[in-house]
Amino acid sequence: MTALPFPVAEEPDAESAEAGRMLFAGGTEFVKGVVAMSGLPASDRLEVCFAGRSNVGKSSLINALTGRKGLARASNTPGRTQEINFFATGENHYLVDLPGYGFANAPTAVVAKWQALLKQYLSGRQSLRRAFVLIDARHGVKKVDDEILSLLDGAAVTFQAVLTKADKVKEADRARILDQVRTALAKHPAAFPEIVVTSSEKGWGIPTLRSIIAELE
């Protein structure tokens, strides 16, 4: 039997789960919001960033990871939040929250400025180890997601797909969406060959994602 491309990441073993728990047990604090490359903090910590279209559940996922409900705040207006937000986790990690993309209501100039900053950040941040691209499990990969995946390919940044809101989808439909996501990821050379399936509400996949972050070097 041929193994599926882009399998769902397995739950971590006890040692890996504990490493992930310990990383986030030290607390996570907001550092700063950045609107230009000149404002980036020193690249003296390992970084992971989170990208996703507006309303994909990015803030909820970051809050679930860190165990702090109000840490990351969602904007009700797509394209309103234009900052790259840095959070310090433990002694050696940054979690980086990228603005939600999919700017149906944002001015063209705002979109262009954000895209330029995003490209500069992704291409020029040596401490960035992985991008987590959040995909709504109810919808799969959309065209706007494919654009960010291509941008990550061009920046040579390894990215890993994270399905959000998996609890909102029936199991049979989840399998269909996973197949669609796998097909989309196969076109992108920077894609990491595992998918993380999560539900911030139910806690699904949170220990897995924590352990993945803790084990990056």
Q: Report if residue 155 sits inside a domain.
A: yes
Sheet containing strand 84-89, edge to edge, reads 28-34, 84-89, 93-97, 46-52, 128-136, 159-164, 196-197
Q: For residue 72, what pLDDT is reported?
A: 74
Closest CA to 204 of 173, 172, 168, 180: 168
Mean pLDDT of the chain: 89
Could you tell me which residues come within 8 angstroms of residue 23 by beta carbon, excluding any fewer than 6 positions away? 89, 90, 93, 210, 213, 214
Report the chain's C-alpha Rg in angstroms.
Answer: 16
pLDDT at 23 over 50: yes
Q: Report if residue 46 sits inside a domain.
A: yes
pLDDT at 2 over 80: no
* pLDDT classification of 1: cutoffs 50, 70, 90: very low
Closest CA to 103 of 126, 80, 121, 71: 80
Q: Report if residue 1 sits inside a domain.
A: no
CA 178 to the chain's CA centroid: 17
Q: Report if residue 174 sits inside a domain.
A: yes
pLDDT at 81 over 80: no
pLDDT at 11 over 60: yes
Task: Specify the residue for token string 């789960």.
Answer: 17
Q: Report if residue 42 sits inside a domain.
A: yes
Which has more confidence, 213 or 90?
213
User: Which amino acid, 32?
Assistant: K
In tens, the pLDDT along 82-121 reads 789 999 998 999 999 998 776 556 677 777 777 788 888 9
Q: Report if residue 4 sits inside a domain.
A: no
* The total number of structural domains that make up the chain: 1
Which has more confidence, 30 or 80?
30
Global pTM reads 0.92
Q: Supply the angle between the helices 206-215 and 14-25 in degrees, to the nearest 10.
A: 80
Range of the domain at 23: 14-215
In tens, the pLDDT along 123-174 reads 889 999 999 999 999 999 998 898 889 989 999 999 999 999 999 999 889 9
CATH number for position 136: 3.40.50.300
Q: For residue 76, what pLDDT is reported?
A: 47
pLDDT at 69 over 90: no
Q: Report if residue 6 sits inside a domain.
A: no
Q: Report if residue 162 sits inside a domain.
A: yes
Neighbours of 104 (CB within 10 A): 8
d(C-alpha 63, C-alpha 67), whole Å: 6
